[in-house]
Amino acid sequence: MALKWKNDMIKKKFGFYLEHVNSYQNRFYAIYFVDSLTGALLLSKRYTLGNISLAKTDDDLIGNFLNAINLFIKEIGNNKHEEIQEINFKDMRIIYEKKNRLICIAITEKSDINVERMILHEILEDFYNRFEREIKFFKGYITPEIMDYVKRLDNLPLNYFFKSDFKL
């Protein structure tokens, strides 16, 4: 019983169950890298197929739709620099992080927004620093190096990130 209580506390605080640390369950359902000027999806990574509707959708469609929401917010806002930060649902949220023309969007299970945002920010910085030139001069061609970044995402233990572990 004590283990169950601790496990529920870990789930509430960090977004995953202790017994699932080595499983495919993750605090992130998916991460998308989108070029904000063209709306093109540069790369995506799904971490779970448990959400059936997400499993059957087209990543390009999702990326374009999430970018369109951001553009819509800019259009209707009084401040043209207004940008969406997050969209909340009952059990999940969509988080946006942006650097220049790169938008990194994560669909997450609701846990700790600060932890989720810090992890996403570090992923955005890592991706941007590796591919800054390709992003700045993006003309529609996605390089094999960008496509290979999905291997890095595969190997990132996102459930292990805690407040002291944010450097990739």
The answer to whether the pTM exceeds 0.85 is: no
Whether residue 5 has pLDDT greater than 80: no
Q: What torsion, rounded to 10 degrees, do the Cα atoms 91, 117, 120, 50 define?
A: -10
What's CA 146's distance to the chain center, in Å? 16
Mean pLDDT of the chain: 78
Give the integer Cα–Cα distance in Å for 44 and 105.
9
Residue from 96, 95, 86, 126 nearest 27 by CA? 95
Q: Are 79 and 102 contacting, i.e. CB atoms less than 8 angstroms apart?
A: no
Give the N- to C-terminal CA distance of the chain in Å, as an integer: 36
Give the integer Cα–Cα distance in Å for 35 and 70.
12
What tokens appear for 51 in the block? 């959400």
Whether residue 108 has pLDDT greater than 50: yes
Whether residue 1 has pLDDT greater than 50: no
Q: Out of 1.20.1560.10, 3.40.630.20, 3.60.10.10, 3.30.450.70, select the CATH number for domain 23-156.
A: 3.30.450.70
Q: What is the pLDDT of residues 37-87, one digit of tens each?
A: 888 999 999 876 555 456 566 787 887 888 888 778 877 877 767 778 898
Of 3 and 13, more confident:
13
Mean pLDDT score, 108-118: 87
Mean pLDDT score, 9-15: 56
